[in-house]
Structure 1
Amino acid sequence: KGFKYIDISLTPFTNTLPIHHLKLQENNPQEIDVIYIDVLNHHIKPAQQRYTRTAANKYLYENIQTYFKAEILVDENGLVVTYPDLFEKIG
């Protein structure tokens, strides 16, 4: 199966790719198939994710299989500014 998106653990930059590409309207969720690379555990597997734009600069990210959810704050370029408990842009 071909994957349009890749999700690499340990970096929020892979969230920027679908956020920028999907150009979502508020409260209009979109499910995507990704290839997930878990760097720490050396796993590569397909995953289903859902992105919902909840405000001009906020997205709800959901991993459909694991029920993991996070509200991601992005800047005007779609780069992650805050990913709760995982990433915080400094500087």
Structure 2
Amino acid sequence: MAEAVRWQSWDGMGVEHLVLADRAGGLVAEGALLSGGDAHFAASYEVTCHPDGTVSRAHVSVTGGPKLTLQSDGDGKWRNSDGKKLTALAGALDVDFSASPFTNTLPIRRLGLAAGEAAEITTLYVRFPDLDLSLDRQRYTCVEAGRRYRYQSVDGSFEAMIDVDQQGLVTLYEGLFRRIL
């Protein structure tokens, strides 16, 4: 069964549409982004996950710009679309798209934190619109189980509160995105 959701950027200029399906083989997400703010771009993506919630494949395409396909074994080993090992990205189990609240859903669902619990993870950070890749250490703290989480960059450069629905999908990402559908 698939669910469609939509977010608007905090400035009201950008929008993202996502169709999410929980399948026997794992989560499948297809989305489209129209940016707001200073960067003007459109992009589409597809993310598939292993049954344990770790990312198995991420494909991103910026309209008129770069494209990127990454595959993971679920243990933090990544390859590009040609099958070449990307050893500089080793250790990440999740992807984090700079322009999307959806990718916060992945660790929130996978970690299953109880109120007061916290976990540090390494994500494969994809910066839009150039699709630059880097590893990013992040901390999620459960404030209210199944509803509210504190997101922090481990380096201290960013922090925000994230509210989610019963599926773990972001409803409010303080200062960045709000769900409109």
Q: What TM-score does the superposition give when structure 2 sets the normalisation length?
A: 0.48
Where does residue 162 of structure 2 map in the other structure?
72
Aligned-pair CA distance for 1:40: 3.2
For structure 1, list consecutive stretches of 5 or more residues without a partner in the other structure: none
Distance 2:169 2:163 in 1: 8
Where does residue 109 of structure 2 map in the other structure?
20
Distance 1:40 1:66 in 2: 24
For structure 2, list consecutive stretches of 5 or more residues without a partner in the other structure: 1-89
Where does residue 144 of structure 2 map in the other structure?
55
Distance 2:158 2:140 in 1: 12
Q: Which of the pair has the greater relative contact order for Cα pairs under 8 Å at 6+ separation? A: 1
Aligned-pair CA distance for 1:64: 1.0
Distance 1:3 1:51 in 2: 15
Aligned-pair CA distance for 1:27: 1.0
Q: In angstroms, what is the RMSD of aligned CA positions?
A: 1.2
Dislocated runs of 4+, deviation >2 Å: 40-43
Amino acid at match of 2:162: I
For the Cα contact (< 8 Å) 2:124–2:136, is it kept in 1? yes
Structure 1 residues 34-87: Cα deviation after superposition (integer angstroms, max 9, x where no partner): 110111354211010000100130000001124310000000100000001211
Pick the aligned partner of 1:45 from 124, 134, 149.
134
For the Cα contact (< 8 Å) 2:126–2:134, is it kept in 1? yes
SS of the equivalent of 1:44 reads strand
Where does residue 9 of structure 1 map in the other structure?
98
- Count matched residues: 91
Which of 78-87 and 37-46 deviates more? 37-46
Q: What TM-score does the superposition give when structure 1 sets the normalisation length?
A: 0.92
Pick the aligned partner of 1:31 from 100, 115, 120.
120
Greater share of residues in strand: 2
Which structure would you say has the larger Rg?
Answer: 2
Distance 1:68 1:47 in 2: 12
Structure 1 residues 4-49: Cα deviation after superposition (integer angstroms, max 9, x where no partner): 1110111111000000000001111100011101113542110100
Distance 2:127 2:111 in 1: 23
